[in-house]
Amino acid sequence: MEIEDKLIHTKINVDIKPHITVDTKACWNCAEKSCLYVCPVQNFKMKDNEIVFNWEGCLECGACRIVCRRGVTLWTNPRGGFGIRLRFG
């Protein structure tokens, strides 16, 4: 089963307040840019030679926080009633 097949069964109640922030200026000197490869839903992208992060589609797996050696990914739990809900359908 591909990741896309699994994502069909998830629901995300997106909050207007981000629960994950990334200090993208600190990413400028990062040679590895591991976040680009570890995020299962590819919320990290390169645009105009800078990291761009889209928190709205986050699966809350925490992989980005684990692989970031600079600690620029600040992750908290979403507010009550918001975030991902798994295994629907």
Tell if the pTM clears 0.85, that is, is over it: no
Domain that holds residue 66: 3-85
Query: Tell me, what's the pLDDT at 38?
Result: 94
Pair 41, 54: CB distance under 8 Å: no
- What is the enclosing helix (H) or strand (E) of 27? none
Per-residue pLDDT tens digits for 14-71: 888 888 889 988 888 889 999 999 998 899 999 998 999 988 888 888 899 899 988 8
- Give the domain CATH number at 16: 3.30.70.20
Residue range 1-6: average pLDDT?
Answer: 72
Number of domains in the chain: 1
Q: What is the per-residue pLDDT for 89?
A: 58
